Amino acid sequence: MLDLRYVAQNFDEVVARLSRRGTVELGEFKRLFGERRELNVQIEKLRSESADVGALLSPGKQPVTREVRGTSYVQPLGDEQKNELRALSKELKEKSKDLEGKLKEIESQLDQILLTVPNLPHASVPEGRSSEQNVVVRVVGERPQFDFEPKPHWEVGESLGILDFERASKISGARFAVYKGLLARLERALASFMIDVHTSRGYTEVLPPFLVNRASMTGTGQLPKFEEDSFKTCGDPELFLVPTAEVPVTNLHRDEVLEGDQLPIKYCAFTPCFRREAGSYGKDTRGLIRQHQFQKVELVKFCRPEASYDEHEALTADAEEILKRLGLHYRAVSLSAGDLGFSAAKCYDLEVWLPAQQTFREISSCSNFEDFQARRANIRFKPSAKEKPQFVHTLNGSGLAVGRTVVAILENYQQKDGSVLIPEVLRPYMGVDAIRKA
RNA sequence: GGAGAGAUGGCCGAGCGGCUGAAGGCGCUGGUUUGCUAAACCAGUAUACGGGGACAACCUGUAUCGAGGGUUCAAAUCCCUCUCUCUCCGCCA
């Protein structure tokens, strides 16, 4: 979330920057902020008074002198004075309790607003309201040529007998798939390959819980706004199935103060991801593109604020490395302000070429969240032993979405005879050079 | 599922109704001493939000001893509820 005081002090600027995304939802922020300050001052005054009363009534080692309500009291006190002060203290407590109630109400309203306001887009983010205005920053590799009509991945998979949507829907419903034989192995091979590449490049592998609590979901920005997108366990304890490893991995350091020289911290994690895909009823109903459950290797970084944009480029390059090694044609696009995710200040999508649809599809999304998640999740670092802790910057990106990588391989490496070649780098993991009809 | 124990500052650990933001230790920072290292000694060492000051140093107010309520003139300390952690038994893997 955004910093309360920053918003208050730079209100117009914040509104202007948010409006690049489209809607601005700051509601009654200004009025509430003013009331909050006023109440705070009043409450502190009352408390200070009652602390004086407390000191006078307490049998301390040294005699105490205090001025309360214009009268000065000197210990030792007479009974009458004591009774006076006791009565006053009660009154003060009641008053401040009353005001505290009001303050609480206002703070929760302010919180509500801040928790649902998205991050400010970075200056380098392209102008625009939708994906139409995303800017292609580079195109890598060559579009594969086919001397036959390339089939969509679901046809490739089903005709090889390694992909089964019908049985998946019997077991679970729409938007699920069953992989069999070498396709199941391909998923495993890809995950291992990706993790091996990333760990060799300085990422620490993490296997986190796949069920997380509400605080974790709030920390990374999924809640409170997008609850309908997630799967939730019923009752007690209330847990959410992770929509991405970003959630558990970023929350590894929630409420922690990291040492400055530990940074940057780089993690990678292979996990399943669960998404309701609410509101996407007509979209991508065929194939593996949009599933309720898929697997992903995620990269997560914690770094110093001044390093985050360099780290963002580097993280994107790390994700791209996988595509390059797999020989897949792709492009990188910088998302326009309006297409940016809720928590992101800047985001590159990597889009892989899918020949059957003659289109690029998102296979990775690499975001810099600046301190937006760190503030929600309270993740700080000490720049040096002497300095105060400050919020880290967090980043993450898919490296890559494994399910969609399977799609890309099935489509780009399909052969005229219906078989699928295995990219060179995966062969040690697969033990075969192609998937052929049994 | 049954029976217990506990949650205090970066960490360990006292305190169990009243100048206690909280002893002591460790760690950390600065200094002294020292051929280097080590050690010893001295000093400093929480965070947040207000007010003053130059959005500096600094001064000052308030809050914070797992969370929330209650008792009391006064709560880290007493009571209630919740959360989490740990130990033992059972159960499952």
Give DSSP secondary structure letters for A43-84.
HHHHHHHHHHHHHHHS--SS--EEEETTEEEESSPPHHHHHH
Task: Locate the domains of chain A by residue range.
Answer: 27-116, 131-435
Tokens coding A411: 């489509």
| Dihedral sign computed on CA atoms, order A353, A354, A359, A363 | negative
Q: Which residues of A are known to be catalytic?
A: 275, 290, 362, 365, 404
pLDDT at A30: 86
A29 CA to B23 C1', in Å? Answer: 45
CA-to-C1' span, A102 to B73 (A): 25
Structure tokens at A216: 């974790």
* Nearest in space to A278 (alpha carbons), one of A245, A243, A247: A243
ipTM over 0.85: no
Q: Does domain A131-435 have CATH number 3.30.930.10?
A: yes
Contact by Cβ (8 Å): A99, A39:
yes
Distance of alpha carbon A50 from alpha carbon A366, whole angstroms: 53
The pLDDT, as a whole number, for residue A98 is 86
pLDDT tens per residue, range A11-26: 888 899 999 998 777 8
10 Å Cβ neighbour count for A306?
9
Tell me the pairing of strands A204-206 and A265-274. parallel
CA of A217 to C1' of B2 (A): 34
**Nearest nucleotide, C1' to the C-alpha of A86?**
B73
The dihedrals phi and psi of A180, each to the nearest 5 degrees, come to -130, 155
- pLDDT recorded at residue A234: 75
Q: A115-155, pLDDT tens digit by residue?
A: 888 999 999 999 998 899 999 999 999 999 999 999 999 99
For strand A135-140 and strand A390-391, is the pairing parallel, antiparallel, or unpaired?
unpaired
Footprint of strand B on the protein (CB under 7 A): A 5, 37, 40-41, 43-45, 47-48, 50-51, 53-55, 57-60, 62, 64, 85-86, 89-90, 93, 97, 236-237, 257, 385-386, 388-389
Nearest residue for B46, CA–C1' = A388
Nearest to A36 by CA among A102, A129, A120: A102
Q: Which residues of chain A fall below pLDDT 70? A: 60-61, 235-236, 385-386
Residue with tokens 């696009």: A333
Measure A95 CA to B71 C1' (Å).
Answer: 18
